[in-house]
Chains A and B, each alone.
Chain A
Amino acid sequence: MDFDLMITSLPKLLSAAVITLKLLSASLIIGLFIGFLFAVLRLNKNPFISKFAYGYSYLFRGTPLLVQIFIIYYGLGQIEWLRSTFLWVILKEPYWCAIIAFALNTGAYTSEILRSAFQTIKPGIIEAGKSLGISSKIILYKIQIPVAIRQSLPAYGNEIILMMKGTSLASTVTLMDITGVAKHIVSTTYKPLEVFLLAGGIYLFMTFIIHNVIKYLEKKYSFQ
């Protein structure tokens, strides 16, 4: 084990962790919006709208994230007419391509998590509200949505951790996140064990933080 290399690599990997966190937070925020939107569409009574939302989630949950990144980054980059449109300003940057892919992917999973949370709300709770004469709009905002969010916390916590690990794929489109910088160091030192152990340690630490935040939230908003 080359401990000197580990010590000199640590600051480089930590500064790369900033990129990883940026990618993660941007895609989670956008993904949450997409997730909410598509969860609502899924629950719509119109079969076309709900089928469309189902198709989206089926497509993005049914294909590997790496393939989605490659299609968005390398695939769209090969379409000539696209390069002359304003879309190219965004698609030219590997950073935005990665965020688009991550957000669409996590959006699909989030929509499923939220949908199932909505559907598992016991009808009795809604009926209780109705019997008290509360309007269905207020039941939605004050009862259904808060309960659904609480229900979905454990599953969503898992999704955040999965997405955090998924951001390592950003290195395949030239981004210098933790994995990208680790690969770069390995390409000149040829010592993958030391460098990747360290990179893995940083990911594990981030998982530890996310896990505990979610656990705290679960406790705080517990039904008991």
Chain B
Amino acid sequence: MNKLKTFGLGLLISLFLTISSNAESIKIGTEGAYPPWNNTDASGKLVGFEIELGNELCKIIKQECTFVPQDWDGMIPALLMRKFDVIMAGMSITPERQKTITFSQGYATEPATLAVMKGSSLESMNTPDAINLNRSGSDVKKTLKTITESLAGKTVCTQTGTIHQNFLESGDVGKVNVRTYKTQDEVNLDLTSGRCDVALAAKASFVEFAEASGKAVVTVGPNLAGGAFGDGVGVGIRQGGDDTIGKRDAKLLKDFNKAIDKARKDGTISKLAIKWFGDDVSM
């Protein structure tokens, strides 16, 4: 009986310690499968631009931070269920997501692009280098028309629940045969296997994959931004409220906005962006 009591007490104490230690730190949810934004290395450790930036921001806020890995398709529900406090997962700020959660100011932005295997007929697609869907000039319309024609009858693959899926289903490029995957890794696999004729994702993820795998993946068409692609990547936070946690969420939003301001001014974001993207994608 005594042993049982000791065991129970030990369990209670350890439970209490876990809860109290968790209350201290900010928990950041990330996917760990979207390089170079965030990734998991061979030993299972989270690495990437957002992991380092998150730690820098937490240093400025003067709070301890821990990263929590979470599958992409459950990211926003997990935030709402308070499995973590904020999201840093290459998540773009879009009006659709803002109906459910709130975002800090953007810290980085990166264009989306189409990619094919070398030898695809889409390689000859003739478009400008970049278009911004927020501007409705004739060149934007013309480019969208070119993309629509190129994608007709093709299987277009993308990760589920992303701005890229939104764009393909927005009607901007007509009715597209979209196939969605749980992770970007799977999109890349099926692009190389030939099940996908063309894929859409952040440009860096294709470049990174081509380098890492040695496969002949090439990006085609314009760099896409604006419109369904949102306004850059920010920290996702629960919408504040009047209860204790709601107030803490509102404070987190303020803290992260201030911290991003500071990190931008002292060049921290740019420095990390160049380190991970080879290009200054900070904003």
Contacts and interface: CB of A to CB of B under 8 A. Distances in A.
Interface stretch (B62-70, B189-197, B260-268, B271-279): B189-197
A191 B195 CA distance: 31
Nearest to B77: A192
Nearest to A171: B182
A190 B179 contact: no
A77 B193 contact: yes
Q: How large is the interface on A (under 10, 10 to 19, 20 to 34, 35 or more residues)?
A: 10 to 19
A92 B194 CA distance: 8
Given A174-B180, A188-B96, A92 B195 contact: yes
Q: Which of A83, A94, A172, A187 has the most CB of B within 10 A?
A: A187
A184 interface: yes
B195 A94 contact: yes
Interface residues of B, number: 22
A184 B180 CA distance: 9
Q: Is the interface of A mostly helix, strand, loop or mixed?
A: helix
A5 to B, nearest CB: 12
Interface in B184-213: 186, 189-190, 192-195
A99 B193 CA distance: 19
A10 interface: no
A191 B76 CA distance: 9
Interface in A180-203: 183-184, 186-188, 190-192
Given A77-B190, A172-B182, A190 B77 contact: yes
Nearest to B196: A174
Interface string B72-86: 011011001000000
A212 interface: no
Contacts of A191: 77
What 6 A-B pairs come out closest when comparing CB atoms? Answer: A187-B161, A77-B193, A190-B76, A174-B179, A190-B100, A192-B77
Interface of B: 73-74, 76-77, 80, 96, 100, 157, 160-161, 165, 179-182, 186, 189-190, 192-195
Interface of A: 74, 77-78, 83, 88, 92, 94, 172, 174, 183-184, 186-188, 190-192
